[in-house]
Amino acid sequence: MNSRNISNMGKPGPFSGFAWVFWLTAFVLAGQSAPARAETFNAKYQVRLTGVSIGTVHLSGDVMAGAYMVTLKGDVSLLGFSARFEASSDGLTRAAAVVPARYRLRTEGTVDRTVTVNFSPDRTAAVTIDPALSDSEKRGLVPLEASHRTNAIDPMSALISQLIRVSRSEDPCAGVAQVFTGASRFDVNIIAGSTKANEIECRAVHQPIAGHRPTGNERPTSAVIAFPKTERAGGLRLPTRIEVPLSLGTITIRRIG
């Protein structure tokens, strides 16, 4: 996998449960089995909290010879709070590595904000956050250092990198992502989980690095990702289910189309 890092899906401030769900969705929804040829993909997922529907997520994109583009759109509504997001990325593919050109995240909710990250071949070239973080949003965050912007890729490019990597492996439960979103930096380690009759379960362990607000609890967050044991010949094997434990309950993202 490319050694570049991948950060928080662009939501500045503490690494909230929904930001974790957002990034994890981007990382795994299309990143587990590369197509043998150029392919367009389009999938729909329903998001539930303790069994109650709270939103939907749509993933689409193209993986072509030497290039890629991907878009993730979603909406969430919970306890009087509603939010929408759209993230996109494009760039080049070189062997097993990805070289992102531009990442963009637009969120609408309590704060409407756009995060844009432009890349040069070996580093993050420029980050724009509009509107800029307020003093209250920045208060208490682990500072982002210059080193967090090197050897890094964005979350959407991370899923493409995972897609290419897993095309050379029979094991979907492996890989480490170092993520930079423009406002935060974290690692995700994909490890083996349990095996069921018709599914393979992996675990994604999240480790915050910077751009988050420490909680005093050093225990990493661990999510479950379930994949079908069989896949469509020549195509993408997309996860059937993602489960993320939060303080409010468990978020379940299940494919419905």
Q: What is the pLDDT of residue 96?
A: 61
Q: Is residue 57 a contact partner of residue 34, using CB atoms and an 8 Å limit?
A: no
Cα 36 off chain centre by: 23
Q: Is the pLDDT of residue 10 over 50?
A: no
Higher-pLDDT residue of 133 and 38 is: 133
Q: What is the pLDDT of residue 217?
A: 67
Residues 6+ apart with CB under 8 A from 91: 67, 68, 98, 99, 100, 101, 102, 119, 157, 160
Read off the pLDDT of each residue in 88-95 and give the average, rounded to a whole number.
Answer: 85
Q: Is the pLDDT of residue 14 over 60?
A: no
Q: What percent of the chain has pLDDT over 90?
A: 29
Report pLDDT digits (tens) over 201-239: 888 888 889 998 887 766 778 888 887 776 554 455 677
Tell me the H-state helices in 98-228: 135-138, 155-166
Q: How many CB atoms lie within 10 A of CB 19?
A: 23
Q: Is the pLDDT of residue 108 over 60?
A: yes
Q: Ranked by mean pLDDT, which of 18-32, 103-117, 193-207, 221-235 comes out on top?
A: 103-117
Higher-pLDDT residue of 117 and 161 is: 117
Q: Is the pLDDT of residue 2 over 50?
A: no
DSSP string across 20-40: HHHHHHHHHSS-S---SS-EE
Q: Is residue 72 a contact partner of residue 90, using CB atoms and an 8 Å limit?
A: no
CA 39/CA 21 separation, integer angstroms: 26
Higher-pLDDT residue of 38 and 198 is: 198
When mean pLDDT is compared across 96-110, 135-149, 193-207, the lowest value belongs to 193-207
Q: What is the pLDDT of residue 12?
A: 37
Q: What is the pLDDT of residue 162?
A: 67
Q: Is the pLDDT of residue 114 over 80?
A: yes
pTM: 0.79
The token duo for 91 is: 């760039």
Average pLDDT, the chain: 78
b/e burial code for range 176-202 (CB count within 10 A of at least 16 → b): ebbbbbbbbbbbbebeebeeeeebbbb
